Amino acid sequence: MIGRTSKRGLETVSRRLCRKGIGAWCVASLLLLVLSASAERGVVIGSKNFTESYLLGEIIAQLLEGEGIRVTRRFGLGGTLICHEALVSGEIDLYVEYTGTITEVILQAEVAPRRDALVAPLAERGLQPLPELGFDNTYALVLVADRAVELGVARISQLADLPSLRVAFSHEFLRRQDGWPGLRDRYDLRFQPVGIEHGLAYQALARGSVDVTDAYSTDGDIERYGLVTLKDDRAFFPRYAALPLAREDLPAAAGAVVGRLGGRIDEERMRRLNAEVVVGKRSFAAVAADFLAAEGFAASPVAASTWRDELLANTIRHLQLTIIALGLAVLLGLPLGVLVHRSQRASRMVLYGAGLLQTIPSIALLALMIPLFGIGVLPAIVALFLYSLLPILRATVTALVSVDPLLRRVAVGMGLSDMQQVRHLLLPLALPNVMAGIRTAAVISIGTATLAAFVGAGGLGQPIVTGLALNDPGLILQGAIPAALLAIATELCFEGLERCLIPAHLRRTSAP
């Protein structure tokens, strides 16, 4: 032992504990994740992040559970590409897709948007369309009924005469060939739409800050906000019949059970089911259970998970994501910083590299991870890890570079080896700044991890994503408030940690 005072002893012990603790925690958590991933997961059902997709996913899940088939839910995935990627890579076994989306986005081919026409091209990708559910959820342009009267519009073609209209479309609609670009050409539209999160568009519409937005014809919100749909008088929008899209290796028994839903839900029915969730504020599970009972399917008992259980599970997952990512970033960033800090060029290159990663918007970084790591916890951890790297690296390099050169000269002169210099001089002196860097990274991670739900990693982003889909501020706050509290708790934890690791006179006096 180097130190004799109890303070020093504590310092050394806690430092050792920290080092071993972080390593052990990372290994244990990764093992746990791998184990839980490889455990019997049954049929994995995905959904996109809007009400109808959640609801249909839940209906299918309960239907299978009612037949005694084990199910894992992976709901709220952020869009068609993420769902498709997840399906192809086997992360999920099925999700509900729309025929128009399959032809336009997935196949990008001239195929009729009907199930029978899709079988062959999908089979080439190892996928199979199960029977259509019975409704066509096409795109529609909607506006508030009063405003429609005021403007005197009832058909899309009439919009061409109104170039100053305020229009906001969902991001996916803005990009899709069967969305805005195609619509604009077909109808000769000249207004400039802005992009908006779909769940927020209705509020904007109701508040009158937007005139027109895109909607799905079965949206429960159409009734809720008293909207009217404009007639697609030049028949631009293709057919969007809903059907469960599954992998070819989906067990035949499960496929047969899901197939029983074929033709059971018409447009009117779907709109009512959606409205029960969106307007009636009922849970997906309850609405799905009622529907299945009304259709005479074996009712599976709805496990009524309380909001407390969910909060706990989400918080634990959130902590797992951030702590593993942060731990890995420390394990890589600290040694890397020590390694490169002597060379100005190497430091600059590494910092630029890490800085570049930081500039990629977090949701885009998550999306980029999907082709490499699939969906779920892994891509989220990798993305959070990459985000945490810069603050830690920068703090380490800056702190090391600013160690008094005279101290370094003496350390070399008195015969400390390179490792001993790092261990006994450089790291202890760099510690206050390094801790500040880790603290920053931790807080960033906790914030960014709320986006991990878009790639199916769960966490406190789960209620936020669902809340966005349902346009439910209460649900959004259920994720946002704990996340904010977690960030504050993290700050406090680090303050305590700094107090026990760093002698008072070397502690930074002010918070960042």
Binding residues for other proteins (CB under 8 A) = 2-5, 8, 404, 406-407, 409-417, 420, 424-425, 428-429, 503, 505-506
SS3 71: strand
Q: Shortest Cβ distance from residue 313 to other proteins (Å)?
A: 42
At 107, which helix (H) or strand (E)?
Answer: none
Rounded Cα distance, 185 and 166, in Å = 18
Residue nearer to other proteins on the CB measure, 131 or 428: 428
Sheet holding 71-77, edge to edge: 71-77, 43-48, 94-98, 242-247, 127-129
**Amino acid letter, 443:** V
Residue nearer to other proteins on the CB measure, 278 or 429: 429
Residue nearer to other proteins on the CB measure, 107 or 416: 416
Q: Shortest Cβ distance from residue 402 to other proteins (Å)?
A: 13
Distance, C-alpha 246 to centroid of its chain: 22
Alpha-carbon torsion angle 69, 70, 76, 82, nearest 10: -90
For tokens 């199930």, what's the residue? Answer: 115
Q: Shortest Cβ distance from residue 432 to other proteins (Å)?
A: 10
Q: Shortest Cβ distance from residue 413 to other proteins (Å)?
A: 4
Rounded Cα distance, 421 and 430, in Å = 12
Residue nearer to other proteins on the CB measure, 34 or 412: 412
Q: Extract the tokens encoding 249.
A: 């290796």
Q: Shortest Cβ distance from residue 15 to other proteins (Å)?
A: 12
Residue nearer to other proteins on the CB measure, 120 or 414: 414
Residue nearer to other proteins on the CB measure, 334 or 390: 334
Residue nearer to other proteins on the CB measure, 160 or 410: 410
For tokens 């109890």, what's the residue? Answer: 6
Q: Quote the crossing angle between the two packed helices 51-66 and 252-259, to the nearest 10°.
A: 120
Q: Shortest Cβ distance from residue 331 to other proteins (Å)?
A: 23
Q: Shortest Cβ distance from residue 407 to other proteins (Å)?
A: 5
Rounded Cα distance, 379 and 366, in Å = 7
Residue nearer to other proteins on the CB measure, 375 or 429: 429
Taken in order 271, 277, 278, 279, the sign of the CA dihedral is positive
Rounded Cα distance, 341 and 388, in Å = 18
Q: What is the DSSP string of 149-178?
A: HHHT--BGGGGGG-TT--EEEEHHHHH-TT
Residue nearer to other proteins on the CB measure, 149 or 410: 410
Q: Shortest Cβ distance from residue 427 to other proteins (Å)?
A: 10
Among residues 112, 96, 111, the alpha carbon closest in space to that of 265 is found at: 96
Sheet holding 167-170, edge to edge: 194-196, 167-170, 212-216, 139-144, 227-229
Q: Shortest Cβ distance from residue 414 to other proteins (Å)?
A: 5
For tokens 């508030």, what's the residue? Answer: 144
For tokens 């349902």, what's the residue? Answer: 470
